[in-house]
Chains A and B, each alone.
Chain A
Amino acid sequence: MAVDAVIVDALVKDYGSFRALKGISFTVQQGEVFGLIGPNGAGKTTTLRIISTLLKPSSGNVRVFEFDVVRQGKEVRKIISYLPEDAGAHKDLKGIDYLRFMARFFASDTVELERIVQRGIEIADLGDRIYDKVKTYSKGMVRRLLVARALMTEPQLAILDEPTSGLDVINAWEVRKIIRNFAAQGHTVLLSSHNMLEVEFTCDRIALINNGEIVEGGTPKELKEKYNAQNIEEVFVEVVKCSATF
């Protein structure tokens, strides 16, 4: 029986008078890659930030592997890894030193520390450039370093906000490959994207979010069949049209 990695129940988030999330609910099962997709401003980042304990919900419940994100934030932070959209690394550190700095928060001894760093180096796959300062990296290299940072500790849940945002085709493909390899080892990934085609190829299940509401959910195959569409982009357009009609 599949274990629920994330349970989001009737989640509401207000920024002052603006309601960013209007009572959304979904679950992510252990070992799957779950995609939250929608246009800019739909509420994806807000949802991921709440799950990552950065923001507090206005109402509703969120549990990560049974831990409540509000009451048990410290426990949640031990088992997750969050990669923010457009995140940066500390520019004055070398790539390897950045990985080592981050690994120290998770390693209990030097052997484990080196093991984590080694895994980070392999995931980033930057060759000798890992010994150069981050400020000399291209955008794609920084993103690979950050993805490596997020995955090297083998978190129970990796939360990736727009992991390929702003990357060229080759770098985006590399990052997607890293995520798929990570998931293939039985890890759980929750990612967001506004690139619907990308999500179709990366995720096991998806939820479509628009204007702070989950408007549809299922596997990419199920959704395409349901809406008789060629791809998820077409599904999204159909779903938004239907919700507007009602």
Chain B
Amino acid sequence: MFGNLLKKELKELLNLYSILFITILAAVYGMLGQAIGSAEKSVPKTPTIALINKDNSQLGQFVDEFFQKSAKIVYTGDSKDQAMRTLEASKGIALIVIPRNFSTSILSGIKEQLEVIWIAKGTGLMDNSGHSALYQQLEALKRAITQSLLQGGYRGIDPDVLLDPFQLKEETTIRNLRVQGPPSLVIGTIQSRSSMIPVLVLMLIMMSGMTVISSMGMEKENRTLETLLTLPVSRNHIVLSKIVASAVTGLILASIYMVGMVFYMRPFSFQIPDEMKQMLSLGGMDYALFGLSLFFALMAGLSLFVVLASFAKDYRSSQGLAFPVTMLGIVPMLLTMFKDYVTLPFALKVLVFLIPFTHPMIAMKELMLNNQSLVILGILYSAAFSVGFVALATRIYNSERILVGKTKSKKEISWPILRLILRKFRKV
């Protein structure tokens, strides 16, 4: 008895579509894992740096020799601009400048500043993994200087300077921006202003998508769609009214959600220096672009949901159809947490670009980094995607597919029969 019931339940729940979608999703996650793993492996243990040594005396030479042994130095001249260009070309991570009076100051008991200009490739967790290796070496350098001073008999130096002979004067270059401060603070600032965006976009897509797909499922289950389709009203209007109503509902729900999130995030941004806040702030045009990006991604998502809804037989099956689209939103959300869009491998870049939900997820970050062109390209793509899928949805709603589902045509059926006949013919 139980077996009989179990068999029936499994038959209802485990269908070809659900297994297929999960398989595809597992493959995508596998690809993501591979990409992230390969990025981790590609981080060299020896950091690539440029070094400008303005101090030819004792400690300047010591630092120079230290990095000659522990790092790969790609530039050793006097020009910062040339050094930065060489670093960019050789995928280096920082320029270290030893100031003119480095040795004299420390030996006189004055703490010196070592200038470090970092190159941040992106704002993802995996984008700047090489930085930590250089931070470790800078700490090792401090210990080595202390040891050298102690061995050299410089015991009269202020113990505070002896144990911690220099401080870092850090600047960070990210894309075309150069900001005062360590990369962690710069990236942290960008993250604090954009990290909730992917979650918001996903919430918005889920809320609006579930609304539209449930509405279609209910129309089919209650048999109200059939009546609606025989009324003197354009079927385009039926499709558009569903999409727009769901978009408005989604926007209202997401706005309420965001009010809570703003209050939640406020305490985390008080440590950001005003100068950095100003440099990474957005203008009116940027907000307009972000709004457009969000709107068109939402429209694209909803038009996709409406097309999928045509496969729904009832309310229950419509819920299952919403799942793959939601998963599609999770892929760019997770990926952009680990790596910036621009630092992704080409194949993943293409794949992620094709998902319309990616664009508002990365828009805020890209706008802060003055990369408006990628945001505009994303808006154009999402708009084209929306138009295409609304047209497809309208076509489906104008056809009988919406009522009777897909039926095999005689042509489709005849192929296997034809193959069977040919096989038999060959045997003969």
Name A residues whose Cβ lies closer than 8 Å to a Cβ of B.
Answer: 14-18, 49, 52-56, 74, 77-78, 80-84, 86-91, 102, 105-106, 146, 149
Are A16 and B403 in contact (CB-based, < 8 A)? no
Are B400 and A89 in contact (CB-based, < 8 A)? no
Known: A55-B400, A56-B400, A102-B231. A87 touches B407 (CB 8 A): no
Q: Answer whether residue B408 sits at the interface, using C-beta atoms and an 8 A cutoff.
A: yes
Assuming A56-B399, A88-B224, A89-B222, what are 16 further A-B pairs, CB within 8 angstroms? A15-B407, A16-B413, A17-B410, A53-B230, A54-B226, A54-B403, A55-B400, A55-B403, A81-B230, A82-B226, A82-B227, A82-B230, A88-B223, A90-B222, A105-B232, A105-B233
How many Å from the CB of A40 to the closest CB on chain B?
A: 17
Residue contacts A-B, CB under 8 angstroms, 27 given: A15-B404, A15-B407, A16-B408, A16-B410, A16-B412, A17-B410, A49-B403, A53-B230, A54-B229, A54-B403, A55-B400, A56-B399, A74-B232, A78-B232, A81-B230, A82-B230, A83-B227, A84-B223, A87-B227, A88-B222, A88-B223, A88-B224, A89-B224, A91-B222, A102-B231, A105-B231, A149-B227
Set of chain B residues within 8 Å of A78, measured between Cβ atoms: 232
Q: Which residues 148-204 of B sit at the A interface, judged by CB distance below 8 A?
A: none
A135 to B104 Cα, complex, angstroms = 88
A47 to B165 Cα, complex, angstroms = 93
Set of chain A residues within 8 Å of B407, measured between Cβ atoms: 15-16, 18
Are A52 and B230 in contact (CB-based, < 8 A)? yes
Are B408 and A54 in contact (CB-based, < 8 A)? no
How many Å from the CB of B398 to the closest CB on chain A?
A: 9
Are B230 and A90 in contact (CB-based, < 8 A)? no
How many Å from the CB of B410 to the closest CB on chain A?
A: 6
Q: Answer whether residue B278 sits at the interface, using C-beta atoms and an 8 A cutoff.
A: no
How many Å from the CB of B234 to the closest CB on chain A?
A: 8
A54 to B399 Cα, complex, angstroms = 8
How many Å from the CB of B185 to the closest CB on chain A?
A: 52
How many Å from the CB of A83 to the closest CB on chain B?
A: 8
Residue of A nearest to B231 (CB): A105
Q: Which residues 382-415 of B sit at the A interface, judged by CB distance below 8 A?
A: 399-400, 403-404, 407-410, 412-413
- Which of A54, A74, A89, A102 gathers the greatest number of chain B CB atoms within 10 Å? A54
A48 to B202 Cα, complex, angstroms = 43
Residue of B nearest to A106 (CB): B232
9 tightest Cβ-Cβ pairs between the two chains A and B: A88-B222, A16-B407, A82-B230, A16-B408, A84-B226, A78-B232, A55-B400, A77-B232, A87-B223
Set of chain A residues within 8 Å of B224, measured between Cβ atoms: 87-90
How many Å from the CB of A15 to the closest CB on chain B?
A: 5
How would residues 350 to 370 of chain B score, 1 for a CB under 8 Å from any chain A CB and 0 otherwise? Answer: 000000000000000000000
A28 to B227 Cα, complex, angstroms = 22
Are A77 and B222 in contact (CB-based, < 8 A)? no
Set of chain B residues within 8 Å of A86, measured between Cβ atoms: 223
A106 to B400 Cα, complex, angstroms = 24
Are B230 and A80 in contact (CB-based, < 8 A)? yes
Q: Which residues 4-54 of B sit at the A interface, judged by CB distance below 8 A?
A: none
Are A84 and B227 in contact (CB-based, < 8 A)? yes
A130 to B405 Cα, complex, angstroms = 35
Query: Which of A16, A54, A84, A105 contacts B400 (CB under 8 A)?
Result: A54
How many Å from the CB of B211 to the closest CB on chain A?
A: 14
Residue of B nearest to A74 (CB): B232
Residue of B nearest to A18 (CB): B407
Residue of A nearest to B407 (CB): A16
